[in-house]
């Protein structure tokens, strides 16, 4: 599915959800393409194509049924993923990425 990265970074392995549809989990990013080339991650402003596989143990979520073209797709974060970013990726993330992390913490009500 074609998407525009509006903020932050998307990486292979990222779980994706739709906050406007009761935070429905739609899958995990298993591949990213830009200009018909496989890439591991994409940053704000890039138009990319992502492939999502269903969350293991859950039924596949369908475009047009569980989410629509105008729904915002968001990386699903947790306290554990935030701590991992702090411990292992602190130097890879820029100030805007940390500001987005704060916004997502509020969205997901993570203390």
Residue 44, domain CATH: 2.40.30.10
Task: Name the CA radius of gyration of the chain, rounded.
Answer: 14
- Count how many domains the chain has: 2
Q: Which residues of the chain have pLDDT under 50?
A: none
Same domain as 54, residue 17: yes
Are both 69 and 88 inside the same structural domain?
Answer: no
pTM listed for this prediction:
0.89
- Domain holding 93, by residue range, is 77-111
Residue 62 and residue 20 share a domain: yes
52/81 same-domain check = no
Other beta carbons less than 10 A from residue 19's beta carbon: 15
Q: Please check whether residues 69 and 84 belong to one and the same domain.
A: no
All residues at 6 or more sequence positions from 27 whose CB lies less than 8 Å from its CB, including other chains:
15, 16, 52, 53, 54, 55, 60, 61
Neighbours of 97 (CB within 10 A): 16
Tell me the per-residue pLDDT of 41-54, one tens digit each, with 9 for 90 and over. Answer: 999 999 999 999 99
Q: In this structure, are 66 and 92 located in the same domain?
A: no
Per-residue pLDDT, 37:
97
Let me know whether 85 and 57 are in one domain: no
Predicted local confidence at residue 111, as pLDDT: 84
Are 57 and 84 contained in the same domain? no
User: Are 44 and 20 contained in the same domain?
Assistant: yes
């Amino acid at each position: 599915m074609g998407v525009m990265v509006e903020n932050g970074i998307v990486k292979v392995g990222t779980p994706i959800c739709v906050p406007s549809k009761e935070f429905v989990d739609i899958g995990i990013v298993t591949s990213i393409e830009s200009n018909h080339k496989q890439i591991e991650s994409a940053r704000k402003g890039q138009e990319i194509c992502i492939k999502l596989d269903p969350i293991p143990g859950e039924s596949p979520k369908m475009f047009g049924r569980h989410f629509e073209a105008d729904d915002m797709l968001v990386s699903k974060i947790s306290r554990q993923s935030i701590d991992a970013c702090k411990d292992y990726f602190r130097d890879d993330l820029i100030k805007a990425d940390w500001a987005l992390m704060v916004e997502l913490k509020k969205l997901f009500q993570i203390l």
